[in-house]
Amino acid sequence: MSLSDGAKIAKGITVIIDVYRAFTTQSFAFENGVKDILNVSDIEQALDMKENGFGDFCMGEIGGIRPDNFDFGNSPYDLKGQNIKDKTIIHCTMNGTTGAKLASNADLILGGALINAKATVNFIKLQKPEIVSLVAMGARSTYGEKRTEEDELCAIYMKSLLEETPIQSQQIVKVIDSCKESKKFGDPLQLQYPIFDKIQALRINEFDHAILLERSEDYLVSKIK
């Protein structure tokens, strides 16, 4: 399954996959001590929630760029060295957090990336589900949506783990590192894509946590399991 249409029809345990960068960034935040992350799909909603005390920081992007009045971009680099321990972050992106909100038919929603792929699959196996949906969110712009190699390959890799026929992890990393989306990182003309973020995104199976997104009013709360 792919893109917004895939998220809308996903059932059972659903993994919303966004390697560049939503769930890589969330994984990085949790490893650096953040308490929880509130997922929204609207910039103004995020700012209003912060103003009303729902969270400590706003984090996110529009077209890869940090919105005005946000504390952090959708970027591990922006979080590096920041005091986020025991804090709540409000997260808004065009792909990952939006896709999670669209997955209204899912029994349970997980946030997936290469960095926590194996841990996510291990969590799924413990639930013994009848249905698992893997949704590669791809990229969205003013021109519409498109599939991206990093999300599609992450889904293929996770499927291989679920079926206990694992693809060699470093082969996946090698292919993704050479794909079109990866070329943006470190480009001096696109400073919103620091090379640090690509390095983090390709640290396959580095973190031993699954990200569970629980529904709460008109947003979803990410916590690690």
Question: What token pair was written down for 5?
Answer: 């249409």
Residue range of the domain that includes 53: 3-224
pLDDT digits (tens, 9 = 90+) for 192-223: 999 999 999 999 999 999 999 999 988 999 99
Q: What is the model's pLDDT at position 98?
A: 86
Task: For residue 42, give the 3-state DSSP assignment.
Answer: coil
DSSP 8-state symbol, 181? G
- Residue type present at position 15: V
**Bond from prior residue into 203 cis (ω within 30 degrees of 0):** no
DSSP 8-state symbol, 61? -
Lowest mean per-residue pLDDT among 55-64, 102-111, 139-148, 174-183: 139-148
Helices within the chain (DSSP H only): 3-9, 22-31, 43-51, 76-79, 96-102, 117-127, 149-162, 169-177, 195-201
Lowest mean per-residue pLDDT among 51-60, 66-75, 133-142, 153-162: 133-142
193 contacts 182 by C-beta, under 8 angstroms: no
Task: For residue 59, give the 3-state DSSP assignment.
Answer: strand
DSSP string, 67-126: PTT-SEES-HHHHTT---TT-EEEEE-SSHHHHHHH-TTEEEEEEE-GGGHHHHHHHHHH
**How would residue 97 be classed by pLDDT, with cut points 50, 70 and 90?**
confident
Is it the case that residue 106 has pLDDT exceeding 90?
yes
- Give me the CATH number covering residue 189: 3.90.1560.10
In 3D space, the residue among 27, 66, 60 whose CA is nearest the CA of residue 154 turns out to be 27
Overall average pLDDT of the 86-97 stretch: 93
Q: What is the pTM of this model?
A: 0.95
The separation between the first and the last C-alpha atoms of the chain, rounded to the nearest angstrom, is 24
User: Angle 149-162/169-177 helices, nearest 10 degrees?
Assistant: 170
- Could you give the number of structural domains in the chain? 1
pLDDT digits (tens, 9 = 90+) for 139-171: 987 678 999 999 999 999 999 999 999 999 999
